[in-house]
Every structure is written in structure tokens, then in C-alpha cells.
């Protein structure tokens, strides 16, 4: 297989990959902002999560998004005749 042999991805699969990328990016950014800001900006500090718990929300969601994206890309680029 040479580099000029690009797989032809059907438009619906390409749109699905784009939609997944958009949703995963928004999810990771949401958890990143939540992890940075924390949950104790004001108010009672009795039930606050510790700093490392908030920090783990971002890398964990990023790792999950990357792993699912790898499987999605493998599924989208496989040959339909290999079923």
C-alpha cells in the first residue's frame, strides 16, 4: 500500500467521524474547565473534592476520547469487502 492509496470514506461515515470529533472535543473541554475551576469557588467547603480528583476528570476523558476515536477511525477506513 502506498501513500497515494487513500481509502474512500463514505460521506455518512465521514460525517459521523466529524460529529464524534466535535462532541468529544466539547466533552473534554467541559471536563477540563470543570477540573480547572473546581467545585468550591464559593460557599461551604465541607463537601469539596480535592484538587487531584478535579484534575483527573480532564486526562481521563481525553484518554477515553482518543481510544474511541482510534476504534472509530479503524471502523470508518476498513474495506467493506472484509466483512
pLDDT of 52 above 70 = no
Answer whether residue 34 is part of any domain.
Answer: yes
The answer as to whether 61 is a domain residue is: yes
For residue 74, being part of any structural domain is answered with yes
User: For residue 61, what are the contacts with CB-CB under 8 A and spacing of at least 6?
Assistant: 27, 28, 31, 32
State the total domains in the chain. 1
Tell me the three cell numbers of residue 35: 477540573
Query: Cα(83)–Cα(76) distance, rounded to whole angstroms?
Result: 13
Range of the domain at 33: 11-38+49-82
41: DSSP letter: S
In a domain, 3, yes or no: no
- Inside any domain, residue 68: yes
Q: Is residue 60 part of a domain?
A: yes
The overall pTM is greater than 0.85: no
Decide if 2 is inside a domain.
no
Residue 79, pLDDT above cutoff 70: no
Residue 1 lies in a domain: no
Of how many residues is the chain composed? 83
User: Residue 28 CB: number of other CB atoms within 10 A?
Assistant: 20
Task: Report the distance separating Cα 3 and Cα 57, nearest Å.
Answer: 38
Amino acid at each position: 500500500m502506498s501513500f497515494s492509496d487513500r481509502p474512500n470514506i463514505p460521506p455518512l461515515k465521514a460525517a459521523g467521524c466529524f460529529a464524534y470529533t466535535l462532541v468529544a472535543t466539547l466533552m473534554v473541554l467541559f471536563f477540563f474547565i470543570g477540573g480547572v475551576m473546581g467545585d468550591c469557588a464559593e460557599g461551604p467547603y465541607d463537601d469539596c473534592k480535592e484538587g487531584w480528583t478535579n484534575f483527573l476528570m480532564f486526562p481521563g476523558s481525553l484518554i477515553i476520547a482518543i481510544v474511541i476515536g482510534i476504534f472509530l477511525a479503524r471502523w470508518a477506513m476498513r474495506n467493506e469487502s472484509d466483512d
